[in-house]
A and B are shown apart, each in its own frame.
Chain A
């Protein structure tokens, strides 16, 4: 743990940004990419009764959004404790 409190906050902030960028990148690729822009290409594949692109657009992407937020919650709580900035 860095001794200097401002150094500590700096590190915490950089880790936070890295996490947020990674998750938002996945968010954008799936919702704007796979569900919108490349949807026709993905529709050539099928899972059960669904065309793949259609399923992502009408079901899958929304479920992924939920997962992304909870991954963020979990990772941030860990980060808060690690850098000793949590609210306990």
Chain B
């Protein structure tokens, strides 16, 4: 069988599996639809959370992102895992004890205000829509690259699959498909890296291989070799950083806090039966995530080394087969600027006189190789000469990552619309059956909108996704945290804080990225913090404004303070009915 046949077989098999799970776990109540009836145990919930969290970007793009940013790539690694510590210690157990369905539920009830509920619901919708657009595009791209169907057809197939299991199955269908998707994506990610690690360093464990010695040159550490290769070509040494420390610190902080504030992640902790299991599932989720996240930087090192060693100063007529194949998709492209028929890959923005003299002497005339970072994962099996079925597996893994995240986001969108907007604000006396119908209609609508953005992607999707973290950090996180840990916090403080945080962050980003992009340089930034990291400042402002306003306005009502007392203690008090009330 060839690569394409293998890909069809493996992708076909995984899709059948997802469908079977969706039909088996069809949702019957709103409880099933929103929080899977709260019957999910911690290990499967941890896997589902991990699959929900790791998107097409984590699977396909992250290793490449790190490979080209070296040590500074730590902001993504730490930012996207460190948030789980905040989530486990500060939010998850209390929100689970609170026992409702959504984040706006908590904000609306805790701050006894439909305005707060509305603000939270709109923030949740905004964040989820920007995210889901990128996922659908990812589905289309994986389809088109591996199965050679047009991108748009790929998006349609992806929409169809997600439609069936998200609309029918709700959270219950999504959770159990995500468990399967996690297994597929992690196997697909690890297998090629095991092989490559073994070939380069003699140990199959990538986390060790990354710091090991090279099999080709005994006694030479791989990282030292890579530092040598990168500096020789005029780049910064791989294990050195170039970003300012304050900027790096705030970007990392904004990503961590933003992760803890993202509604599609928080909602997962509503699905377990007990408070103690909300803590355990955060622990499992992070283990499952860190398996991939500690492999990615190793893969980044292997891939960058392999790439430089393979293509630098190579005769173009002698390039390996994968090079030609991925050239056709524009992921890698070569332009022979000095007409010598060889590939020169180096940093042509380097102005060091010594390096310039070297460039001159070699007769180089600008960097000739343009590389898309996604190639680091996508072309990996071919670069390492792995069997054809591994290529098919990587395709199935990329699709699993994109579909699982898209489904989780669609659920947040449908919940926000049906539960928070329609039932919470517009039509409070909605029956259970009607609410479920609204949730399904909203999910179906969201699939179509996501598909539209997948087919006609706005140019700024990538940008906006990274800013979604800053906005989540500056809005949700302080409001939820203070709601749990500060009994005195009232609605005036919370609303003022959320509006200040999100307003400041959005304006700062909009000013530097859309209104006056020319000014987007370090000298003009506030305290030297780039728009990517400004969410950290937005969060601090939110805290300050919340606390100030709260002390100038009345204390919250008695019964609210009683709710806060109650969520701090895991044991169910007699007054509170268990969640099973929602069966029809």
Contacts and interface: CB of A to CB of B under 8 A. Distances in A.
A69 B282 contact: yes
Interface string A17-51: 10010011001000110011101100100011111
A61 B294 CA distance: 10
B366 to A, nearest CB: 31
B211 A9 contact: no
Contact of B89 (A23, A48, A57, A87): A23
Nearest to B208: A48
Q: Which 6 pairs from chain A and chain B are nearest by CB?
A: A49-B221, A57-B74, A49-B211, A58-B297, A50-B211, A69-B283
A57 B282 contact: no
Secondary structure class of chain A's binding surface, majority of residues: helix
A51 B241 CA distance: 13
B245 A43 contact: no
Contact of A66 (B71, B287, B570): B287
Contact of A57 (B71, B213, B253): B71
A34 B351 CA distance: 31
Interface string A46-66: 011111011101110111011
Contacts of A39: 71, 74, 241, 245
B287, B293, B569 pick with most chain A CB within 10 angstroms: B569
Contacts of A17: 485
Contact of B74 (A12, A35, A87): A35
A40 B480 CA distance: 35
A9 B569 contact: yes
Contact of B297 (A23, A59, A77): A59
Interface residues of A, number: 44
Contacts, number: 139
A38 B452 CA distance: 46
Interface in B83-141: 84-86, 88-90, 93
Secondary structure class of chain B's binding surface, majority of residues: helix
A81 to B, nearest CB: 10
B415 interface: no
B306 interface: no
A50 B298 CA distance: 12
Contacts of A66: 283, 286-287, 290
A9, A37, A57 pick with most chain B CB within 10 angstroms: A57
Interface of B: 66, 71, 73-75, 77-78, 81-82, 84-86, 88-90, 93, 207, 210-213, 221-224, 239-241, 245, 248-249, 252-253, 256, 274-276, 279-280, 282-283, 286-287, 290, 293-294, 297, 485, 565, 568-572
23 contacts: A16-B568, A23-B85, A31-B252, A32-B253, A36-B245, A39-B71, A39-B241, A47-B211, A49-B212, A51-B223, A53-B71, A58-B297, A59-B297, A61-B77, A65-B82, A66-B286, A69-B88, A70-B283, A73-B280, A80-B276, A86-B570, A86-B571, A87-B274
Interface of A: 9, 12-13, 16-17, 20, 23-24, 27, 31-32, 35-37, 39-40, 43, 47-51, 53-55, 57-59, 61-63, 65-66, 68-70, 72-73, 76-77, 80, 85-87
Given A62-B81, A76-B279, A77-B276, A51 B74 contact: no
Given A35-B74, A36-B249, A72-B89, 20 more contacts: A9-B565, A17-B485, A31-B78, A35-B78, A36-B252, A37-B245, A40-B241, A48-B211, A49-B224, A53-B71, A59-B294, A61-B82, A65-B84, A65-B290, A66-B287, A69-B84, A69-B279, A69-B283, A73-B279, A73-B283
Contact of A37 (B85, B88, B249): B249
B249 A24 contact: no
